[in-house]
Structure 1
Amino acid sequence: MLISTFQQQFVEAGCDEAGRGCLAGPVFAAAVVFPSDYCNSLLNDSKQLSEKKRMALRPVIESEALDFAVASVSAEEIDSINILNASYLAMHRALDMLKTKAAYIIVDGNRFKPYQDIPHQCIVKGDGKYLSIAAASILAKTYRDEYMDQLAPDFPGYDWLSNKGYPTIRHRKAVLEFGFTPHHRKTFRVSDPQLKLF
């Protein structure tokens, strides 16, 4: 069962990102603050949920959270600062957008760049353990998927409606055949079947 680590005297924000391993499109991140007594048995790591369930949960999260924000970092920015720093930046941008200043931050994963002077904790597989991180993973994933769906009709050969920019075989073959689009991360080199970052 997922839990909240929120303490009554603190405002705790959970953060997660989506799209870090993609060939194309921005990386998205979300920050979510829940009430101290919040419970939702349906919340889980976005990767463990179907697209239909993620989309059903998104309005629930947005209506029941005390505060939430979603932000992104473009492919061009990713190429400039690298994907790890871009993931941190996306989370920082989401935290910037919160109307309520967080007193504590919990982040999915094992690394995070400190945000302002606010203490934080990195939690491996936190999106499967803590409600606010799970909610952040769902928001980041659904907003990013929608963004890629909007781009897809203009670039039909890359199959973004299905792969959302991730390096599937079909996507890699399209890059090798047609080249990069303006939405691709140019610092990712594609060979078949290997994906290398240099």
Structure 2
Amino acid sequence: VYSCTQKCIGAPSGMSPIAWTPAAQAKRVACRSFYLDLTLLEDYWLRRKYHHTLSSTMIYALREALMAIEEEGMDARWARHERNHQALARGLEAMGLTLLPPQGERLWTLNAVRVPPRIDEAAVRKQLLEQFNIEIGAGLGPLAGKIWRVGLMGSSSSASLVLLFLGALEQVLRDRGFAMTPGAGVAAATTLGQPAALGRG
């Protein structure tokens, strides 16, 4: 199992925590890459061949991020991500937008929002960034130009940011002639509870 530090863990990018089973550890095959040779990492603190220069600041950052996760508690962290995803989904749907995955197959952390017809998706992202300092991702591969990717991960999964994004997206879309009831997105998002109760922030 491998991951990265900059997503839901909430640390800076640049590291990939990994875990493997005893069976995988016992399996010995010729490694085709010095950089990816895990046998050189197993005994990092013991006598070994030099592998790479450790970034101590990254280790400290990862430690702080993991301490924050422990302090919040995993159950509370899962619940926060779910609540904020549900608030975002309700808000988007109230604005006349749809999520790409069907209900039951959606990730709480990455929301794929269909771009409405006749809307320049890149122009929307540009205005969100320049006017509101909000950056969302474009679709990739076959979904390029068809969806926006809205992340709710770690500290960015907060009620205040969900409501800020919904309000900003409403203004940007209305500037482009997309018809919706003013304030519908924010109002729908808050039906799950008071903004502060949706999640941290």
Report the TM-score when normalising by structure 2: 0.24
- Which of the pair has more CA radius of gyration? 2
Give the helix-richer structure, 1 or 2: 2
Report the TM-score when normalising by structure 1: 0.24
RCO (CA 8 Å, sep 6+): is it higher in 1 or 2?
A: 1
